């Protein structure tokens, strides 16, 4: 009898709750400027089904704002686009929802290659990767032909080309190491433990590991000869000396390097028909030619969201739907998602767009696809500002032109940052 | 009875005159300080269980000592440079009786209208060997590449120069104003007694504006400790990493807006309040800056008399 009453009450409650469910769900979405057209399009598409409030926020805003929202216990957005480390920061504050149950297994299978970053040490997903920034070898085919080089298969070949340029073609370049250039292009693919978190409270930062020293030793002669620059690829001096004068023979860089650094008129402005990409060269003795990653944003869903499924659906739209990946009109007149999508279905759609682009010759997409599942997974999200600290590395590298010393300076800084947050730091 | 009433009236008038300031003081000064203190023990990533222990963490932060060293190096250059230059220029301006005076005053105030943010850009262009209008001058010192200028070890000088030119014009005019307040009789008397212009400047005028100079020194020092815009802009806009968490205010900012650790940011802000408070107390109690006019005038006359007597005594000796 009691049980029956309880059931009736429960049933009555459920019935009473139905109208509330029938009301249109409302979600608040935070995106940065490049994601804005897609988000606005999604709001339009969902009109009548889900109210989507799109807000424009700089990527760096999130951590401080969430800390304040936690204080006043309101104001959290439902789903947020942010930089890769946000997932760790937000998980620390219990502010990133576990997402496994909110999307179909088909979706998780579709994104499996691209979402390792978001997988916690417990095996669950806490974010959805928006785009992939795996490094590839960007090649200027005109210069390679002119100098009679072949495409390097190993980093030793790459260094040999560097030595030849220094000797026979001074003034030409193999790229820039500043900002995260050395990290994403050399240290990470070489499996150097830079921010190798093993759990939420322990991280390995070991600049003297052989995987690190082989990378610093490889680039040092090229730094000395000026074939590799301590600046970033978009620094004024690099653009002036190498980029805009079409003197970069090849460079290791992320998937977005072509469209955002090599091509734009305000940047290197390399003429059409010269640029393509090849898979990463292997480090000596390795079986796999790993990539590092240079950026690649993520979506996180707030545990305070009343409609987490609808919130995640927005992220799914952004990484799988043709209307965002191919069709959406950007403010500069271009179409589609600006960067390599994280899902198999998404990047298959994106392939057509890139392959049809006559700027590249041939298309860089096959190399990107090869490297897509090969991002080395030893580097993990961390809660300290590991990305901001690369400015320390760049400054040190510019000053002393010593790769190992600059890495040591970076590592000393992040070790201090990590310890402050209570990380147990292993240094060898 | 009438007397009491009058006292009451003047009391009310005082409160009415004080109230706008009191309102601002409480709402923008006292309340934020109390809120900041209350914020310190709140939970954050570096203070998971909350509590006041975070103050110790801030004091032992690995960035605090370098930032404090930078700030001390900076004020050690900036404060004396500003004071000596300001006093010198103000005394010279006071001497100059030509009709150009008002134009010279304008010339002083113009650099002061360039605020911190703009000053970074202006000085970036001036120092940057590629763009500098003073290229030949930089070449003279063998400076041809930007990395010869933009090094962390040069920053105390670079920021001191930026801050110096931003505030120096204003202070020259203020001190010129304080020199104008010296009564002409005193100067006249000194002149009759045979003081040269140089002696008048150093032995009569300078002692008479001493308190204004101390006042300036304290304000310039306290302002210098709060250096933020210049290093922050240089780091984010011009040369990445060159002045990352270089000043104490930047560290506080980094706590709050990079890490979301508002407790640590508040703790450091409160710690930074202490030197400024000490400075303010020195101004109030150790100088006669805030004495009422009558007693100040009395003191001034006494000081002038003393200075004259001393001069006369000296003359007597030299005779």
Closest-CA residue of chain B to A395 = B241
Q: Is residue A376 part of a domain?
A: yes
Cβ contacts of B189 within 8 Å, gap of 6 or more: B308
Examine the domain organization and report whether A38 and A104 are in the same domain. Answer: yes
Examine the domain organization and report whether A368 and A233 are in the same domain. Answer: yes
Strand ranges of the sheet holding A275-278, from the earlier edge strand across to the other edge? A250-254, A135-140, A275-278
Q: Is residue A17 part of a domain?
A: no
Q: Is residue A38 part of a domain?
A: yes
* Residue-level pLDDT at A225: 97
* Residue-level pLDDT at B119: 83
For chain B, how far is it from start to end, CA to CA, in angstroms?
63
Which of B44, B151, B261 is the closest to A399 by Cβ? B151
Tell me how far apart the alpha carbons of residues A164 and A161 are, in angstroms, rounded to a whole number.
5
> Residue B44 phi/psi, 5° resolution?
-155, 180
Q: Which residues of A touch B245 (CB under 8 A)?
A: none
Is the pLDDT at B15 greater than 50, yes or no? Answer: yes
Which tokens belong to B310?
């001393």
Q: Is residue A305 part of a domain?
A: yes
Mutant choice from B39, B45, B124, B255 vs A, greatest count of A C-beta within 10 A: B45
Examine the domain organization and report whether A174 and A50 are in the same domain. Answer: no
Q: Is residue A348 part of a domain?
A: no
Tell me how far apart the alpha carbons of residues A205 and B236 are, in angstroms, rounded to a whole number.
26
Q: Is residue B15 part of a domain?
A: no
Closest-CA residue of chain B to A59 = B258
- Contact flag A396-B241 (C-beta cutoff 8 Å): yes
Q: Which residues of B touch A420 (CB under 8 A)?
A: 46, 57, 61-62
Contact status, residue A213 vs residue A206, Cβ threshold 8 Å: no
Confidence of residue B236 (pLDDT cuts 50, 70, 90): confident
- Contact flag B259-A396 (C-beta cutoff 8 Å): no
Q: Measuring CA to CA, which residue among A296, A394, A316 is closest to residue A83?
A: A296
- β-strands A275-278, A135-140 pairing: antiparallel
The pLDDT tens digits along chain A (428 residues) read 344 434 434 443 444 444 445 589 999 999 999 999 999 999 999 999 999 999 998 877 787 888 788 878 888 899 999 999 988 888 887 788 999 999 999 999 999 999 999 999 889 999 999 999 999 999 999 999 999 999 999 999 999 999 999 999 999 999 999 999 999 999 999 999 999 999 889 999 999 999 999 999 999 999 999 999 999 999 888 999 999 999 999 999 999 999 999 999 999 999 999 999 999 999 999 999 999 999 999 999 999 999 999 999 999 999 999 999 999 999 888 889 989 999 999 999 999 989 999 999 999 999 999 999 999 999 999 999 898 899 889 989 988 899 999 999 999 999 999 998 889 999 98
Assign A286 to helix, strand or coil.
coil
- Contact flag B244-A395 (C-beta cutoff 8 Å): yes
Mean per-residue pLDDT over chain B, rounded = 84
Examine the domain organization and report whether A270 and A307 are in the same domain. Answer: no
Q: CATH no. for residue B118? A: 1.10.3720.10
CA distances from A413 to A207, A255, A391, B87 (A): 12, 29, 11, 43
Rg of chain B over CA atoms, in angstroms?
A: 25
Q: Domain limits at B289?
A: 63-318
Q: Which residues of B touch A398 (CB under 8 A)?
A: 147
Tell me how far apart the alpha carbons of residues A297 and A315 are, in angstroms, rounded to a whole number.
11
pLDDT tens-digit readout, B174-207: 898 888 888 888 888 888 888 888 888 888 888 8
Contact status, residue A394 vs residue A178, Cβ threshold 8 Å: yes
Rg of chain A over CA atoms, in angstroms?
A: 23
Enter the DSSP assignment of A258.
I
Q: Is residue B33 part of a domain?
A: no
Q: Check whether the bond before A362 is cis (ω within 30° of 0).
A: yes
Higher pLDDT, B145 or A323: A323
Assess B142–A contact: CB distance below 8 Å, yes or no.
Answer: no
Q: Is residue A61 part of a domain?
A: yes
Examine the domain organization and report whether A310 and A289 are in the same domain. Answer: no
Contact status, residue B169 vs residue B58, Cβ threshold 8 Å: no
* Residue-level pLDDT at A2: 41
Q: Is residue B77 part of a domain?
A: yes
Predicted model pTM:
0.81
Q: CATH no. for residue A65? A: 3.40.190.10
- Contact flag B260-A89 (C-beta cutoff 8 Å): yes
Assess B200–A contact: CB distance below 8 Å, yes or no.
Answer: no
Q: Is residue B157 part of a domain?
A: yes
Which of A67, A394, A421 is the closest to B241 by Cβ? A394
Q: Is residue B257 part of a domain?
A: yes
Q: Domain limits at A56?
A: 23-129+297-338
Q: Which residues of A touch B61 (CB under 8 A)?
A: 420
- Contact flag A420-B151 (C-beta cutoff 8 Å): no
- Contact flag A420-B57 (C-beta cutoff 8 Å): yes
* Residue-level pLDDT at A378: 95
Q: Is residue A344 part of a domain?
A: no
Assess B133–A contact: CB distance below 8 Å, yes or no.
Answer: no
Mutant choice from A64, A83, A416 vs B, greatest count of B C-beta within 10 A: A64
Lowest mean pLDDT among A211-225, B30-44, B55-69, B302-316: B302-316
Examine the domain organization and report whether A164 and A248 are in the same domain. Answer: yes
Cβ contacts of B227 within 8 Å, gap of 6 or more: B71, B74, B159, B163, B247, B249
Examine the domain organization and report whether A412 and A285 are in the same domain. Answer: yes
Q: How far is A146 from chain B (nearest CA, A)?
A: 31
SS3 content of chain A, % helix, strand, coil (to 5): 45, 15, 40
- Contact flag B42-A71 (C-beta cutoff 8 Å): yes
Which tokens belong to A215?
């990378």
- Contact flag B260-A398 (C-beta cutoff 8 Å): no
Contact status, residue A27 vs residue A305, Cβ threshold 8 Å: yes
Q: Is residue B30 part of a domain?
A: no
Examine the domain organization and report whether A263 and A379 are in the same domain. Answer: yes
* DSSP letter string, chain B: -HHHHHHHHHHHHHHHHHHHHHHHHIIIIIHHHHHHHHHTTS-BTTBTT-STTHHHHHHT-TTHHHHHHHHHHHHHHHHHHHHHHHHHHHHHHHH--STTHHHHHHHHHHHHTS-HHHHHHHHHHHH-TTT-TTHHHHHHTT--SGGGT--GGGHHHHHHHHHHHHHHHHHHHHHHHHHHTS-HHHHHHHHHTT--HHHIIIIIIHHHTHHHHHHHHHHHHHHHHT--HHHHHIIIIISTTTTTT-SHHHHHHHHHHTT--HHHHHHHHHHHHHHHHHHHHIIIIIS-TTS-HHHHHHHHHHHHHHHHHHHHHHHHHH-
Higher pLDDT, A50 or B235: A50
Examine the domain organization and report whether A32 and A116 are in the same domain. Answer: yes
Assess B146–A contact: CB distance below 8 Å, yes or no.
Answer: yes
Q: What ipTM was estimated for this complex?
A: 0.76
* Residue-level pLDDT at A16: 41
Mutant choice from A58, A63, A67 vs B, greatest count of B C-beta within 10 A: A67
Neighbours of A104 (CB within 10 A): 9
* Residue-level pLDDT at B312: 78
Higher pLDDT, B9 or B7: B9
Q: Is residue B242 part of a domain?
A: yes
- Contact flag B45-A64 (C-beta cutoff 8 Å): no
Q: Which residues of A touch B45 (CB under 8 A)?
A: 89, 92-93, 383, 421
Assess B48–A contact: CB distance below 8 Å, yes or no.
Answer: yes
Q: Is residue B10 part of a domain?
A: no
Examine the domain organization and report whether A281 and A315 are in the same domain. Answer: no
Examine the domain organization and report whether A111 and A72 are in the same domain. Answer: yes
Cβ contacts of B298 within 8 Å, gap of 6 or more: none
Q: How far is B64 from chain A (nearest CA, A)?
A: 12
The count of residues in chain A is 428
Q: How far is A279 from chain B (nearest CA, A)?
A: 30
* Residue-level pLDDT at B204: 87
Mean pLDDT of B46-55: 86
Examine the domain organization and report whether A318 and A276 are in the same domain. Answer: no
Q: Measuring CA to CA, which residue among A172, A64, A130, A106 is closest to residue A337?
A: A130
- Contact flag A385-B146 (C-beta cutoff 8 Å): no
* Residue-level pLDDT at A393: 94
Contact status, residue A390 vs residue A179, Cβ threshold 8 Å: yes
Tokens 């932060």 belong to: B61
Q: How far is A110 from chain B (nearest CA, A)?
A: 33
Is the pLDDT at B249 greater than 80, yes or no? Answer: yes
Q: How many domains does chain B have?
A: 1
Contact status, residue A195 vs residue A207, Cβ threshold 8 Å: no
Which of A64, A93, A237 is the closest to B256 by Cβ? A64
Confidence of residue B295 (pLDDT cuts 50, 70, 90): low
Tell me how far apart the alpha carbons of residues B248 and B254 are, in angstroms, rounded to a whole number.
10
Is the pLDDT at B292 greater than 70, yes or no? Answer: no
Q: Which stretches of chain A sit within 8 Å of chain B by CB?
A: 60, 63-64, 66-68, 71, 89, 92-93, 178-179, 232, 237, 383-385, 388-396, 398-399, 416, 420-422
Q: Which residues of A touch B62 (CB under 8 A)?
A: 416, 420
Q: How many domains does chain A have?
A: 2
Q: Is residue A15 part of a domain?
A: no
């Amino acid at each position: 009898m009691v049980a029956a009453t309880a059931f009736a009450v429960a049933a009555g409650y459920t019935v009473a709750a139905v109208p509330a469910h029938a009301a249109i769900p409302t979600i608040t979405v935070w995106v940065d400027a490049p994601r804005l057209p897609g988000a606005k399009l999604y709001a339009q598409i969902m009109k009548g089904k889900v109210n989507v409030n799109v807000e424009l926020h700089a990527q760096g805003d999130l951590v401080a704002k969430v800390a304040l929202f936690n204080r006043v216990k309101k104001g959290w957005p439902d789903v947020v686009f942010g930089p890769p480390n946000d997932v760790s920061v937000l998980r620390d504050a219990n502010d990133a929802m576990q997402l496994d149950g909110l999307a179909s297994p088909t979706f998780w299978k579709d994104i499996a290659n691209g979402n390792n970053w978001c997988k916690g040490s417990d095996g669950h997903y806490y974010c959805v990767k928006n785009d992939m920034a795996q490094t590839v070898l960007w090649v200027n085919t005109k210069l390679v032909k002119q100098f009679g080089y072949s495409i390097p298969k190993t980093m030793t070949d790459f260094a040999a080309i560097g030595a030849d340029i220094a000797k026979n073609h001074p003034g030409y370049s193999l790229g820039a190491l500043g900002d995260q250039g050395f990290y994403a292009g050399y240290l990470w693919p070489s499996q150097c433990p830079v921010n190798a978190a093993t759990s939420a409270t322990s991280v390995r930062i070991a600049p003297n590991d052989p995987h690190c020293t082989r990378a610093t030793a490889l680039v040092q002669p090229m730094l000395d000869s000026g074939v590799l620059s301590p600046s970033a690829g978009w620094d004024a001096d690099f653009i002036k000396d190498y980029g805009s004068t079409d003197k970069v023979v090849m460079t290791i860089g992320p998937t977005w390097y072509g469209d955002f650094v090599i091509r734009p008129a305000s940047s290197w402005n390399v003429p059409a028909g010269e640029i393509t990409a090849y898979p990463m060269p292997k480090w000596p003795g390795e079986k796999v030619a790993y990539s590092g990653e240079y950026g690649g944003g993520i979506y996180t869903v707030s545990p305070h969201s009343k409609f987490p499924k609808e919130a995640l659906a927005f992220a799914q739209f952004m990484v799988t739907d043709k209307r965002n990946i191919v069709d959406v009109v950007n403010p500069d007149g271009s179409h589609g998602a600006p960067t390599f999508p994280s899902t198999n279905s998404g990047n298959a759609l994106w392939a057509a767009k890139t392959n049809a682009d006559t700027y590249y010759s041939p298309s860089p997409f096959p190399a990107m696809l090869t490297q897509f599942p090969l991002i080395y997974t030893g580097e993990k999200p961390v809660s300290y500002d590991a990305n901001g600290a690369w400015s320390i590395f760049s400054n040190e590298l510019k000053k002393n032109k010593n790769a190992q010393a600059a890495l040591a300076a970076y590592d000393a800084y992040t070790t201090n940052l990590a310890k402050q947050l209570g990380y147990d730091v292993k240094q060898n | 009875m009438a007397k009491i009433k009058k006292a009451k009236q003047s009391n009310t008038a005082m409160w009415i005159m004080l109230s706008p300031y009191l309102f601002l003081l409480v709402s923008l000064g006292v309340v934020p300080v109390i809120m900041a203190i209350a914020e310190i023990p709140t939970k954050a990533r570096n203070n998971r269980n909350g509590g006041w222990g975070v103050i110790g963490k801030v004091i032992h932060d690995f960035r605090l000592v370098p930032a404090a060293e930078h700030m001390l190096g900076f004020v050690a250059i900036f404060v004396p440079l500003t004071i000596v230059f300001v006093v010198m220029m103000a005394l010279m301006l006071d001497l100059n009786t030509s009709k150009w005076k008002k134009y010279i005053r304008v010339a002083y105030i113009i650099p002061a209208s360039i605020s911190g943010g703009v000053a970074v850009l202006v000085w970036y262009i001036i120092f940057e060997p590629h763009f500098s209008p003073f290229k030949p001058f930089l070449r003279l010192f063998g400076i041809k590449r930007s990395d010869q200028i933009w090094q962390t070890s040069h920053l105390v000088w670079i920021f001191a120069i930026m801050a110096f030119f931003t505030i120096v014009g204003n202070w020259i005019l203020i001190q010129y104003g304080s020199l104008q307040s010296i009564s002409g009789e005193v100067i006249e008397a000194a002149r009759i007694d045979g003081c040269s212009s140089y002696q008048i400047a150093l032995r009569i005028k300078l002692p008479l504006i001493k308190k204004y100079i101390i006042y300036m020194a304290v304000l310039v020092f306290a302002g210098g400790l709060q250096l933020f815009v210049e290093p922050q802009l240089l780091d984010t806009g011009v040369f990445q990493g060159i002045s990352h968490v270089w000043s104490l205010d930047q560290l506080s900012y980094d706590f709050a807006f990079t890490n979301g650790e508002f407790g640590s940011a508040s703790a450091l802000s409160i710690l930074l309040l202490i030197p400024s408070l000490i400075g303010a107390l020195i101004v109030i109690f150790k100088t006669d800056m805030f004495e009422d006019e009558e007693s100040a005038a009395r003191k001034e006359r006494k000081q002038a008399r003393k200075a004259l007597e001393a001069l006369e005594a000296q003359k007597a000796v030299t005779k």
